[in-house]
Amino acid sequence: MTCARYREAVSARLDGEPLGLSAAALDGHLATCPDCAAWAEAAAAVTRRARMDVRPVPDLSEEIVADIALPTRRVLRRRQWLRIALGVVGLVQLGVGLPAITGHAIGMAMSTHGAHEAAAWNLAIGAAFVAVASVPRRAAGLIPLLGTFLVVLGVLSVRDFASGTVGADRLLTHCVALLGLLLLVALDRAERALPPPWRAAADDEGSARMRSVA
């Protein structure tokens, strides 16, 4: 049996682990092998120094928590401002749609039923903005729908403006929906940046605040 095997047994003895051979065989080898005996003595000295080292281990918990909590608080603040902004945009969008209920479309001549359709759509967008401001996790579901609507609307609006069938004041009302889309994307990104436990707690706290304001 080589010296390496006996030295492994010495290390196991110092750690209180099974030797892998008999204690008598190990002691007999140490008695006849000066190199292993010196190695065993040095290993024992190192082990004693390590066990007697009472230097305090630094507590890094506060630094670790700060690295997580501080960025999360910044995201929460940005998320809260985005929610407020989206809620305001939703109310403005509702204001855009309300006149069309009575057939008074802003900057555009259209049939009564067409005005009602526009009113229903604008009111739906406004209500959706307010709903997402209340529960931000809903933002992701609204982005594809509103994005598609605005792309198609943009193309058609350019054509209608060129033909003179729609005025600039009407086109400006579409900027409200565009601003809402940008806020939705920003709010969705802020939502994804939050750890799940913080996200759920923020939803509960934010919803309670909005109910108290209402």
C-alpha span between 174 and 186 (Å, rounded): 19
Q: What is the dihedral of CA 82, 84, 89, 91, to 10 degrees?
A: 160
| Residue 90: closest CA among 102, 82, 78, 79 | 82
Q: Give me the pLDDT at residue 176, please.
A: 87
Q: Give me the pLDDT at residue 62, please.
A: 59
CB atoms within 10 A of CB 214: 6
| Percent of the chain clearing pLDDT 70 (strictly above) | 70
CB atoms within 10 A of CB 81: 14
Mean pLDDT by 10 residues, the chain (214 residues): 78 81 83 85 80 61 56 77 86 73 53 68 86 86 86 85 80 86 89 66 52 46
Distances (CA, A) of 147 to 5, 172, 177, 182, 193: 71, 17, 10, 10, 22
- Tell the residue number behind the tokens 């603040």, with chain if given: 77
Q: Give me the pLDDT at residue 213, please.
A: 42
Q: Give me the pLDDT at residue 182, please.
A: 92
Q: Give me the pLDDT at residue 172, please.
A: 84
CA pseudo-torsion sign 146, 150, 152, 156: positive
